[in-house]
A and B are shown apart, each in its own frame.
Chain A
Amino acid sequence: MLWRRLKPTALALIVPLLLLAFWQVATTNQWTLLIPTPYQVGEYMVDFAVGGIYDDAYSGTLLTHLLASMSRVYGGFALAALFALPIGLLIGRLPVARMLLDPFLQIMRPIPVTAWLPLSMILFGLGAKSAFALVCLGAFYPILLNTIFGVRAVDPKLFEAASMLGCRGNAQFYKVVLPAAVPSIFTGLRLGLGLAWFVIVVGEMTGVPQGLGAVIMDGRTLSRTELVICGMIVIGVAGYISDRVVVAIGNRLLRWSPNHHG
């Protein structure tokens, strides 16, 4: 009984613990001198979070950097959703919009966010605006593509059902298309938010003073690998928690959908 309850957690921990063990062995045997031991990183993480150990420029600043990054992740994500949802609905429903926008967007899509970095700094300047723009760009395409897919994949029978029940024309958009597309749109939002976290380091290469990406870039310039690893871990954990929250919201919102329980 107890084992059945603990099994998922136990299994999930195996790979991280193996990695940790390998890391420990590799660093104590000095296979590399440039990477600190897990203990050193752990100690630094505590200092990064609450200070009191090294008391350098980064001690006790975790929350500041985390909040700065979160504001860019969620801000850029919200901006992306604001653009991608209406454009996706248009492309999905109007052939003219599809012919007008789809080829252009398909060509823009493979260009990685990293490649946009220089142009973004020219267009939006050094700093927060550029970071927003890059995160927004990263989150834009998954939301757009899933929205398009969602509104195009509505079961044609449902339109017939709606029209024989007296719901015709534009009313079908609100009563059939939108609700039917919600699971897909939701998947797009979830992927988009994940990508927003994914591109935050690039977004914060734009010369912002605060943020987890900025911390990692500083760590790189200063050759402080423990700082880099701490930043990586915080991004991973924050992104994970953020995703779990979204999944929990989705499970509630999409109770009606048989294949939407993450």
Chain B
Amino acid sequence: MAESPIIEIKDVSKIFKLQDQTITALSGANLSIAKGEFICLIGASGCGKSTLLRIMAGFEKPSSGEALMWGKPIGGPDPSRGMVFQDYALFPWLSVRDNIAFGPIARGLSGGEVRATVDKFIDLVGLQKFATAYPHQLSGGMKQRVAIARVLANDAELVLMDEPFGALDAMTRERLQDELLEIWERTKLTVVFVTHSVEEAIFLAGRVVVMTPGPGRIESDNALELARPRDVASPEFNDIRRVLGAKLHSHHSKVASAPAAA
């Protein structure tokens, strides 16, 4: 494993100033991600998981520390790092086809290349019948499929997902989780997936990064050795769930015993 990591987060902190308050959203985070990994960031709200993801996307700059991709500082958003938002952020005035074509067109591909790329990824997410539909005519699950296809059509090396299935019903979520794993296995993409569901994290990830709030920081980094496909009802699955659940809530006792420092 001499290959350098695709993403390196070195001692990254992020401080937001709101009027006269300063909020430490993320404090001293270190994380290294190898190409092809599937990583879940998990934690309660305010733990900085979304901030860390947005720093990797280039939407936010670290207040201190370094965020690197292939060893170079992340300067801003880039097609090589695609983001899938919880609330989809599809362009409502564009059809499914045109939403997926947005990136390829922005990158200056020819008409034929755009068409071929769009066809390929519409097939991949199974939306052939809805190619000409507008986002408001789609269900939440279908919208998120479009958002995923839109990122993949742009040749993203790294897919960042911010609680992408959080707004979906349980059945749809399970289907999309399966589909996402299938796509990941087939394409060998690198995925960073933010969630607050322990079960979702264990089902999907090769590594689960547990984060705790007040201030947001990385509590632990847990490699999962479970074989795929994973069975959420198996005893091994439940053992991991118990361990991670305990880590997730570890800050409660600290907060309770510590003098009001936050």
Q: Please judge, given known A-B contacts A164-B57, A175-B106, whether A158 and B91 are in contact too, CB under 8 Å.
A: yes
* Chain A 4-32: CB-based contact to B (< 8 A → 1; otherwise 0): 00000000000000000000000000000
Q: Are B91 and A179 within 8 A (Cβ)? A: yes
Known interface pairs A165-B79, A165-B106. Does A158 touch B89 (Cβ–Cβ under 8 Å)?
yes
**CB of B82 within 8 Å of the partner chain:** yes
Question: Which B residues touch A176, using CB under 8 A?
Answer: 91
CB <8 Å contact, B59 and A160: yes
Q: Is A257 a contact partner of B92 (Cβ separation < 8 A)?
A: yes
B76 touching A163 by the CB < 8 A rule?
A: yes
Q: Which residues 158-185 of A sit at the B interface, judged by CB distance below 8 A?
A: 158, 160-168, 171, 175-176, 179-180, 182
Q: Which positions 59-85 of chain B face chain A at CB distance < 8 Å? A: 59, 76-79, 81-83, 85
B240 in the interface, Cβ–Cβ < 8 Å? no
Q: How far is the CB of B94 from chain A (nearest CB, A)?
A: 7
Given A165-B106, A166-B106, A167-B106, verify A179-B89 contact (CB < 8 Å).
no
Beta-carbon contact of B93 and A160 below 8 Å: no
- CB-based contact A166/B93 at 8 Å: no
Inter-chain contacts of A257 with B (CB < 8 A)? 92-93, 136
Indicate if the CB atoms of A157 and B85 lie closer than 8 Å: yes
Task: Give the distance to chain B from A32, nearest Cβ to Cβ, in Å.
Answer: 53
A210-241 to B contact mask, C-beta < 8 Å, 1/0: 00000000000000000000000000000000
How many residue pairs link A and B with beta carbons under 8 A? The number is: 75
Residues of A within 8 A of B57 (CB): 160, 164
Contact B102 A165 (CB under 8 A): yes
Residue tally, chain B, CB below 8 Å to A: 29
B136 touches A258 (CB 8 A): yes
By a CB distance below 8 angstroms, the chain B residues around A165 are: 79, 82, 102-103, 106, 150-151, 154
- By secondary structure, the B interface counts as loop
Q: Does B107 contact A (CB under 8 A)?
A: yes
Beta-carbon nearest neighbor of B103 in chain A: A165
Contacting residue for B85 out of A161, A163, A175, A255, CB 8 A: A161
Which chain A residues border B150 with CB–CB below 8 Å? 165
Shortest Cβ gap from A100 to chain B (Å)? 27
- Which single member of B78, B90, B135 contacts A164 (CB below 8 Å)? B78
Contacts of A163 in B (CB 8 A): 76-77
Q: Is B184 an interface residue (CB 8 A)?
A: no
Query: Do residues A161 and B93 form an inter-chain contact, with CB atoms below 8 A?
Result: no
Does A155 belong to the interface (CB within 8 Å)? yes
**Cβ-defined contact, A162 with B102, below 8 A:** yes
Whether a CB of chain A sits under 8 angstroms from the CB of B237 is no
Distance from A104 Cβ to chain B, minimum over Cβ atoms (Å):
30
B89 pairs with A167, CB closer than 8 A: no
Residue A39 CB within 8 A of the other chain = no
* A256 is an interface residue with CB less than 8 A from chain B: yes
**B90 (CB) vs chain A CBs: closest residue:** A161
In the complex, the answer to whether A155 meets B107 with C-beta atoms within 8 Å is no
Contact indicator A256/B106 (Cβ below 8 Å): no
Q: Which residues of B contact A162 (CB under 8 A)?
A: 91, 102, 106
Nearest 8 A/B pairs, CB to CB: A165-B103, A258-B136, A167-B106, A163-B77, A157-B89, A256-B134, A166-B79, A166-B106
A–B pairs, 30, beta carbons within 8 Å: A155-B89, A160-B59, A161-B91, A162-B91, A162-B102, A162-B106, A163-B76, A164-B58, A164-B78, A164-B79, A164-B82, A164-B151, A165-B102, A165-B106, A165-B151, A165-B154, A166-B78, A166-B79, A166-B103, A166-B107, A167-B106, A168-B76, A175-B102, A179-B91, A180-B93, A256-B94, A256-B95, A256-B134, A256-B136, A257-B93
